[in-house]
Each structure stands twice: as C-alpha cells, then as structure tokens.
C-alpha cells in the first residue's frame, strides 16, 4: 500500500522507487494535478467553515444588568 504522505511530499522519489522495485510507471503529472485540486478544495472548505461559524455569543450579563431597575 502506498503512503499518502510519501505521495504528497516525495512524489518524484516514490515514483522512481516504484519503477525500480516493481516496474510500475506512476503518473506523476496526474497526481500533481489532483494534489493541487485537493489543496484548492481544502482551502475553499476552510473558508466556508470560517464564514459559517458564528463568533462568540454575546454574554447575557450586560443585558440582564441593563434591565434591572435602579433602586
């Protein structure tokens, strides 16, 4: 089984090793294209999550204190 970390970080070395040990030609160009698409999608997803996540809720303490009638 191929390690995804090796494919992402050391693609050329992994392809050369597969060719030398198993005689397998790894399509490096396609994997590089797919990796760049994955990074773009991951970045967009991160942006969507930060936009969708509301900030901290305001505390009820200042509102409750403002409603209390003065003595």
| pTM for the full predicted model | 0.64
Domain membership flag for residue 63: no
Full residue range of the structural domain in which residue 26 is found: 4-53
Burial class (CB in 10 A: 0-12, 13-18, 19+), 18: middle
Q: What is the pLDDT of residue 11?
A: 93
Domain membership flag for residue 35: yes
Q: What is the pLDDT of residue 50?
A: 85
Q: What is the pLDDT of residue 56?
A: 65
Domain membership flag for residue 36: yes
Instruction: Express each pLDDT in 16-71 by its tens digit.
Output: 999 999 999 999 999 999 999 999 999 999 998 888 776 666 665 666 566 666 66
How many domains are contained in the chain? 1
Distance from C-alpha of 61 to C-alpha of 30, rounded to nearest angstrom: 57
Domain membership flag for residue 61: no
Q: What is the pLDDT of residue 70?
A: 61
């Amino acid at each position: 089984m191929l390690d995804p970390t090796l494919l992402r970080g050391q693609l050329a070395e992994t392809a050369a090793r597969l060719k030398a040990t198993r005689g397998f030609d790894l399509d490096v160009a396609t994997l590089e294209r797919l990796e760049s698409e994955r990074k773009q999608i991951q970045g967009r997803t991160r942006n969507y999550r930060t936009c969708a996540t509301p900030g901290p809720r305001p505390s009820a303490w200042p509102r409750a204190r403002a409603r209390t009638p003065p003595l």
